[in-house]
Structure 1
Amino acid sequence: MKLTRTLSLLCALLLTPLAGAAGNTLSQDTDAIKQKLSEQLNLQVLSMKDSPITGLYEALTNRGVLYISKDGSKLFHGNLYDIDQGMKNLTELASAGPRLEMLKPFEDNMLVYKAADEKHVVTVFTDTSCGYCRKLHKQMADYNKLGITVRYIAFPRAGVPSANADEMQAVWCAKDPKLAMTQAKAGEKLQSNKCDARIDEQYKLGVTFGINGTPAIILEDGSMLAGYLPPKALFEALEANK
């Protein structure tokens, strides 16, 4: 028994430094990859962990979720699906939770169209010149009647700076932003206004979420629907997503 205990203790003492060294190597590897992505691709890595595929890291960046080989030489940008779980979108699943956390600091900057009998809350990245954004806005009363509160956040598709971004600045800084939004989406010219609307930050947030078109609808669990959905279809999607 004493011999067994002695051998076990020796093994533990020998293996512990090796485990620590492996952990340090992992940290060093990811730090080196983060630096490489920053210097070569101007990417900011918000978090990095092992991906569902052996040999790849999953990195949440300011350009969405990316997959990177362990040696940092290969990069994949796209959706990863689990065939055995009904084609579950693992990339979307990895993005959902962080999206909700990143939205919180912008809640005071959102234009909120609150439903009287609120059942669901969605956050819509919108643009004043987008045809389907205008269509969604015209149906706002119908979304609200179904119990859907809609929160707008700015995503000028032309980027920042741009005339598009200036128009959205004028909306957010207007005396009545909701009225200004209706006017802008009807094609009316708005008076230029300035305030701390954080349009640039709102746009960058959308880019981090992987948004490249509008409207983009963030559901209550952080998952995202790309594109317009009519009121009834959106309500059904929200109910199914409970």
Structure 2
Amino acid sequence: MLTLINFASFAQDDEFSMVRKKIESIGLGVEAIADAPVEGLLQVTTERGLFYISEDGKYLLQARIFNVEEGMRNETELALGKLRLEGVEELSDSVIEFKAKNEKHVVHVFTDTTCGYCRKLHNEIGQYNDEGITVRYLAFPRAGLNTDNHQELVSVWCANNPQKAMTDAKSGDSVQTKTCDNQVAEHYQLGQKLGVTGTPAIILPSGMLVPGYQPANILAEALNRSR
């Protein structure tokens, strides 16, 4: 079980202060440090994802840890899954939802209006809903923040009818440029933290991240098996 290290104690502990400073010196904002499943390593949650670092701060690793004695359980994926579910829950009030009438599953999808497979998925949104899958969209502008791509997603999220604006944008139709208080940047930053590198990226109810487009029936089968 992971034990969180309180940063307040760092001021009195030069060793851990040094570790944190080393991580931040290479441009990684530290959010939390915990004991790693492997002795001699610390698990570090940063704004750019999950890392491991030696206790002396000398070696930084981006890796997967498997527990051989527990059937090759992926300890890293378990930690990431928890982070993903916590992250999307924090932003749950700012998603654009396409709700299934007979809801069986809820998935979160990092999406972009210019992505071909995002458009394909959205063109089939009725099929996902028919399979009992509610889709909650989070924004992930592939071109980055402060770009035309970012502004288009802001316009979608700020539209009077965001669902229609999403459909229009993904159909290639123009969307009225709008601004408002929005969390598109927070969505993008969360995606980077959770390891999203492309769109669509689907987060399952288990916390598992599935990169790329999945046909509705295939996704439904996988979700039904995991219930």
Fold in common (TM above 0.5): yes
Question: Which residue of the other structure, out of 19, 25, 33, is the alignment partner of 1:33?
Answer: 19
Question: Which residue of the other structure, out of 75, 100, 118, is the alignment partner of 2:85?
Answer: 100
1:99: how far off? 2.0
1:203 counterpart residue number: 188
Give RMSD over aligned pairs. 2.0
Q: Identity over aligned residues, as a percent?
A: 44
2:217 counterpart residue number: 232
What's the TM-score, normalizing by structure 1?
Answer: 0.84
* CA–CA distance in structure 2, aligned partners of residues 156 and 25 of structure 1: 38
Moved more, 52-61 or 64-73: 52-61
Question: Which residue of the other structure, out of 95, 98, 102, is the alignment partner of 1:117?
Answer: 102
**Structure 2 unaligned residues grouped into runs of 5+:** 1-8
Which amino acid in the other structure matches residue 115 of structure 1? A
1:28: how far off? 4.2
Change (3 A) 1:183 1:25: closer
Question: Which residue of the other structure, out of 198, 201, 206, is the alignment partner of 1:213?
Answer: 198
Who wins on radius of gyration, i.e. which is larger? 1
1:89 counterpart residue number: 74
1:81: how far off? 3.1
* CA–CA distance in structure 2, aligned partners of residues 103 and 205 of structure 1: 8
Moved more, 95-104 or 127-136: 95-104
SS in 2 for 1:142: helix
1:129 corresponds to 2:117: no
1:176: how far off? 1.2
Moved more, 27-36 or 192-201: 27-36
Assess if the C-alpha contact under 8 Å between 1:111 and 1:152 holds in 2. Answer: yes
**Structure 1 unaligned residues grouped into runs of 5+:** 1-22
SS in 1 for 2:114: coil
Larger % of helix: which?
Answer: 1
* CA–CA distance in structure 1, aligned partners of residues 12 and 64 of structure 2: 25
